[in-house]
């Protein structure tokens, strides 16, 4: 997506993937809210849970296209690297002991 800046120029939003932070994960919701504050980040992909059903349901709930919901971060990295519109950054919101 393209957005206008204060000086009248246009920019695309940074395309981001999220690792962790699926349904019922408090910190994931906090990070998604923060990403929306200045509308410069688009959450477009995720490996949102180690549970495949929870990951898929989480993606639907937060507006990630089903084909961009991944079973793990390895799959996300590989698939997104092959896309012309792939992610440009990753937000890691797994529990502290996992990152």
Domain boundaries, the chain: 2-76
Q: Give pLDDT < 50 ranges for the chain.
A: 1
- For residue 61, CA distances in Å to 6, 29, 58, 64 come to 32, 11, 5, 8
pLDDT for 33 equals: 93
Do residues 59 and 68 make contact, with C-beta atoms less than 8 angstroms apart?
yes
**What dotted CATH number matches 2-76?**
3.40.50.720
Query: How much is the pLDDT for 97?
Result: 77
Give the model confidence (pLDDT) of 31-59 as tens digits. Answer: 999 999 989 999 999 999 999 999 999 99
Determine the pLDDT at residue 10: 63
pTM of the predicted model, to two decimals? 0.85
């Amino acid at each position: 997506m393209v957005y206008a800046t204060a000086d009248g120029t246009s920019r695309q939003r940074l395309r981001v993937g999220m690792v962790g932070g699926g349904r019922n994960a408090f910190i994931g919701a906090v990070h998604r809210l923060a990403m929306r504050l200045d509308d410069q980040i688009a959450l477009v992909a995720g490996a949102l849970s180690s549970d495949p059903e929870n990951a898929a349901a989480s993606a639907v709930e937060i507006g990630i296209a089903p084909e961009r919901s991944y079973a793990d971060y390895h799959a996300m990295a590989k698939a997104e690297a092959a896309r012309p519109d792939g992610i440009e950054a990753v937000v890691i919101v797994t529990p502290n002991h996992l990152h």
